Amino acid sequence: MNIENQWDDLMGIKMQIQEDKVVLTVKEILKYLLDVSVVSYSLIHKSPLARKSVRDYWRWRNIDKSRFSKAIYRLKQQKFIEIYREGKDKYLELTPKGLDRLRKYDLDDLTINSPKKWDHKWRLVIFDIPDDKKTEREIFRERLKQLEFITLQESVLVFPFDCKAEIDFLCSNYSIKPYVKYIVADFFEGDDELIRNFLDRGVFTKKMIQS
């Protein structure tokens, strides 16, 4: 019996795939173990990483247990998770390496929610990141542009919707929080052009900006 079959036996899983079962991705499994929103990552290092019961997850979702067990085996081999046994139950725990992988997933997926109606305030992100963090500075600037921020000056970008949580997440990830300011402004000269620009980009709709 090979090691994967031994693992399946350990998990108590029948090796029969049913078409109506949910097949989970690695990303979904890691997110289940963390079970927090992206804006809560700054809290992770202040407390132990979450440990979750395998059986609880099986009861919660009608998953394909065979494929799930194989995915868990691979995640353990890659050191993204650890497996613990407590009594008759088995628990999965996210490792720091697994947290880093999940952080990368959420960086790639990061978006800013659009409200139904604009509050007519501007969010300015101003940064003065030193040269010894030049790489982080350029990546941060590029991330803001990908999120549809408009550049006012080289280190001053603007966006119309609340995005403090997302900016905090990026700052935490790149270790640049002391060098970044987040400012909310009611008005500044020339914002008519900004409104037109955001309309052209599809960030605004005409209905959204009506008073």
Report the distance separating Cα 121 and Cα 173, nearest Å.
Answer: 26
The answer to whether 47 touches 91, Cβ cutoff 8 Å, is no
pLDDT band at 24 (very low <50, low <70, confident <90, very high): low
Tens of pLDDT, residue by residue over 35-55, are 532 323 333 333 344 556 666
Report the distance separating Cα 94 and Cα 39, nearest Å.
Answer: 18
Q: Quote the crossing angle between the two packed helices 65-77 and 26-34, to the nearest 10°.
A: 80
pLDDT band at 174 (very low <50, low <70, confident <90, very high): confident
For the chain, list the domains and their CATH numbers: 3-107 (1.10.10.10), 112-201 (3.30.70.240)
The pLDDT of 142-168, averaged and rounded, is 94
Residue 101: C-alpha distances to residues 71, 95, 127, 177 (Å): 15, 10, 27, 21
